[in-house]
Amino acid sequence: MLVKDVMTSEVLTVEEGVAVAEAVQLLRRHKVKGVPVVDAIGRVCGMFTVKHLFQVVADGGKLARPVRELMQREVTVIRDDTSLEETCGFPQKRLPVVDAGGNLVGMLTKSDIIRGFKTTFVHARQELKAVLEATPHGIVAVNPQGYITFVNPAAEKILRLKAERVIGGDVSDFIPNCAVIGVLATGRAIRNFKNTINGTTYLGHAAPVMDGSDIIGAVASFQPFSEIESLADELGVVKQLYKELDAVISCSYDGILVTEADGAIRKVNAATVKLLGLAPSQSAGAGEEGRAHQLGERVAAKVCQDRKPCSISCRINGRQVALTGTPVFDENGAVVRIVTNVRDLSELSALRQELEEVNRLKEMYFSELARLKAEVATTSGTYRSAEMQRVYDLALRVAVVDTPVLIHGESGVGKEVLANYIHDGSARRDGAFIKINCAAIPETLLESELFGYAEGAFSGARRGGKPGVFEIAHGGTLFMDEIGELPGSIQAKLLRVLQDQEFFKVGGSRPVKFDARLLFATNRDLEAEVKAGRFREDLFYRINVVPLFVPPLRERPEDIVALTAEFLAKMNCKYKTDKKLSAEIIEAFTNYPWPGNVRELINVLERVVITSRQEFITLEDLPGNFRQQAHPSAVARGPVLPLKNVLDMVERDVIEQSLRTAKSLRQAAKALGIDPSTLLRKAEKHKIRTGVELPQQPPYIFNGKN
């Protein structure tokens, strides 16, 4: 409260030139004991009080004298904007009050001050009452003896008693172990104590009420502990979230800029600082001048106007940058924050270019790889079937890893060809490829064939000894064919060699290190051999690191055709002939089960090329049993089937046969005694190709060149 709020604004004054008599009249008329004296321009220049009247009387009652001669010249004035508290220091009973310009605006008397303080006190009391009633905390006040002098409504609830019932009572009767007793004893506040009242735990604070150095009471406040706990929990969660958010923002590769609605910066991450080339000072604090601030303002203005995410793009430090601001609304729908994502488009486009380049290189490598694969495939083996493609793909992949490979497959399928292919595709391609057929060597010689022998190992041994295939294959590949035939004693030795990577020559005493890639092949079911106890299980697992299976020729008819073409060409070249195969032969070849696989196919071809008299090799040129097996009826080929299926198969065979032999579709239909349209329908049902693609006479001729 200020002086101007309590002063008396109507001021009586006398001018310094008026007669004392007139001034006395004024005092009498208004029943006041003194008035300020003002000069010609209205400024306070003195005080005239009844005290000065006594002086006039003592001087002989010269009432005509001007006030100026008698008045008290030292006058204390007070500014109207002085606080009421400050007036307490003035000893005067009344003070003229002036404004900032020094003009007299009122008088302040002791009773004005008392009135002012009374009003202040009443207001403060009312406010305190309202606060105490509104607070959810229980408040209890005690006098120095510990008797309760006040409880607020929240404390009434905690105590479950009305104020009238507790006021005047000993606080310890209502609140056991209440800290206020300690506060009264020491005069020191106690914070964060726990009190259990009516079965509920409260967190309390107690403070003394002091009058100078005297303790005139104490006040305690109580708050349910569970509330504090849940608040602490919530605070913990919020802190954790904040930490996480902070980490996300800091780690973001994109720049992130958080601003107020007016663009003032709240937060920027390191990526933004780097991207915008800001000095660290520009990155911190709200209201910063600088680039980030300007950008923040630009984005903020647009986002606030559109009230939805907006993007702007600009060039900064020679980089093209896109800024996308997203508004954050408060519960009233006002934009309170804008989160702006700052993305370096130049880097993106550089990355895109790099990616395109990598893709281009990838394409180039792929096509080069395909070309090399095709090259290796043609040098290492002929195949067209998807099955063999898979086998060769896998072989190419394992070729580069120096791991043992076990190739399974029937005799003559091309296991050795595949082993060669692996060797050619490996880093050891410049080393030797050594093959040993474990079945072809007598058991007594096998050990020395594999590991060699030392000089004088046995009678008749060569001078200087003899190296075994393990030594000869050093730096290259050792292909152990028919591994399933390896005798048990040698199996044990081989296992040791594989484990130790070294071997002893027969009769030798020094171990010899070996460094060869090992490939194994078998036409036996090695797992069954292990089960039957004929092959060591531990050795099986050692050699079966990567198993490859070469399917039998009868399961890949595409390869039969391709191999036939290739070997016919080779035979023609070898025997200087120009033999051709009829379509029937191809048909017969694809139907034949080829128990001897590719090896048998080569033999049969060579035989017919040599033995056939005509240029066109026909079915008649094939051995009788071959013809028999190669062209069985569809029904005879399989197990007993439902009649409908058998009829279907017969129908299919007959239609195929008629289409193959007839010159035209019409002729075929005539031969079958059905309409051409019926024939077409049936051919379609059996997925038999007809029409222009049908072979004309002479049917498919193979001479290895087409």
Ligand X SMILES: Nc1ncnc2c1ncn2[C@@H]1O[C@H](COP(=O)(O)OP(=O)(O)OP(=O)(O)O)[C@@H](O)[C@H]1O
For 109, list phi and psi in degrees, rounded to 5: -110, 170
Position 382 contacts ligand X (CB under 6 A)? yes
**Contact window for ligand X (CB under 6 A) among 166-174, 404-412, 585-593, 642-650:** 404-412
Position 413 contacts ligand X (CB under 6 A)? yes
Gap between the Cα atoms of 564 and 617, Å rounded? 13
131 DSSP β-pair partners? none
By beta-carbon proximity to ligand X, the closer residue of 407 and 662 is 407
- Which residues have C-beta within 8 Å of that of residue 631, sequence separation ≥ 6? 587, 588, 591, 619
CB of 448 to ligand X, least distance (A): 23
In the structure encoding, which two tokens stand for residue 289, read together? 């001048």
**Contact window for ligand X (CB under 6 A) among 26-34, 219-227, 306-314, 410-418:** 410-418
CB of 407 to ligand X, least distance (A): 8
Gap between the Cα atoms of 677 and 526, Å rounded? 55
CA angle 92, 95, 96 (to 5 degrees): 160
CA angle 328, 329, 331 (to 5 degrees): 145
CB of 420 to ligand X, least distance (A): 8
By beta-carbon proximity to ligand X, the closer residue of 52 and 517 is 517
Binding mask 497-536 for ligand X (x = CB under 6 A): ------------------------x-x-------------
By beta-carbon proximity to ligand X, the closer residue of 326 and 411 is 411
By beta-carbon proximity to ligand X, the closer residue of 407 and 512 is 407
Position 381 contacts ligand X (CB under 6 A)? yes
Cα-based distances in Å from 258 to 48, 241, 265, 290, 308: 69, 16, 6, 15, 15
Question: Which residue's CB atom is positioned nearest to ligand X?
Answer: 414
Asked if residues 142 and 222 have their Cβ atoms less than 8 Å apart, the reply is no
Q: Which of 318, 287, 288, 313 is nearest to 302 (CA)?
A: 313
**Contact window for ligand X (CB under 6 A) among 200-208, 292-300, 406-414, 603-611:** 406-414
Position 570 contacts ligand X (CB under 6 A)? no
Query: Number of C-alpha atoms within 13 angstroms, CB side, residue 116?
Result: 21
CB of 683 to ligand X, least distance (A): 33
Q: Which pairs with CB-CB distance under 8 Å and at least 24 residues apart come from 646-653?
A: 648/686, 651/682, 651/686, 652/686, 652/688
Phi-psi region of 657 (alpha: psi -120 to 50; beta: other; left: phi over 0): alpha
Position 417 contacts ligand X (CB under 6 A)? yes
By beta-carbon proximity to ligand X, the closer residue of 417 and 694 is 417
Position 255 contacts ligand X (CB under 6 A)? no
Neighbours of 445 (CB within 10 A): 10
By beta-carbon proximity to ligand X, the closer residue of 415 and 466 is 415
CB of 539 to ligand X, least distance (A): 19
Gap between the Cα atoms of 52 and 38, Å rounded? 16
By beta-carbon proximity to ligand X, the closer residue of 197 and 601 is 601
By beta-carbon proximity to ligand X, the closer residue of 381 and 468 is 381
Position 416 contacts ligand X (CB under 6 A)? yes
- Interface with ligand X: number of residues (CB under 6 A): 18
By beta-carbon proximity to ligand X, the closer residue of 249 and 486 is 486
Binding mask 457-496 for ligand X (x = CB under 6 A): ------------------------x---------------
Gap between the Cα atoms of 270 and 233, Å rounded? 31
DSSP state of 72: B
Binding mask 580-619 for ligand X (x = CB under 6 A): ------------------xx--x-----------------
DSSP symbols for 473-513: TTTSEEEEETGGG--HHHHHHHHHHHHHTEEE-BT--SEEE
Position 551 contacts ligand X (CB under 6 A)? no
CB of 416 to ligand X, least distance (A): 3
Position 412 contacts ligand X (CB under 6 A)? yes
Coil, helix or strand for 103?
Answer: coil
CB of 600 to ligand X, least distance (A): 9
For 504, list phi and psi in degrees, rounded to 5: -110, 135
CB of 451 to ligand X, least distance (A): 22
CB of 426 to ligand X, least distance (A): 17
**Contact window for ligand X (CB under 6 A) among 142-150, 305-313, 407-415, 573-581:** 407-415
Which residue in the set 34, 414, 425, 452 belongs to the binding site for ligand X (CB under 6 A)?
A: 414
Residues written for the chain: 706
By beta-carbon proximity to ligand X, the closer residue of 116 and 409 is 409
CB of 413 to ligand X, least distance (A): 4
Position 383 contacts ligand X (CB under 6 A)? yes
Token pair 């040098």 in the structure block, residue: 379
**Contact window for ligand X (CB under 6 A) among 75-83, 187-195, 409-417, 683-691:** 409-417
Gap between the Cα atoms of 554 and 560, Å rounded? 8
By beta-carbon proximity to ligand X, the closer residue of 170 and 600 is 600
Asked if residues 169 and 160 have their Cβ atoms less than 8 Å apart, the reply is no
Residues within window 154-193 making contact with ligand X, judged by CB under 6 A:
none
Q: Which of 470, 469, 480 is nearest to 419 (CA)?
A: 480
CB of 500 to ligand X, least distance (A): 29
Cα-based distances in Å from 420 to 356, 392, 424: 38, 11, 6
Pairing of strands 214-224, 200-211: antiparallel
Gap between the Cα atoms of 142 and 159, Å rounded? 15
Position 392 contacts ligand X (CB under 6 A)? no
CB of 382 to ligand X, least distance (A): 4
Position 112 contacts ligand X (CB under 6 A)? no
Interaction site with ligand X (CB under 6 A): 381-383, 409, 411-417, 481, 521, 523, 563, 598-599, 602
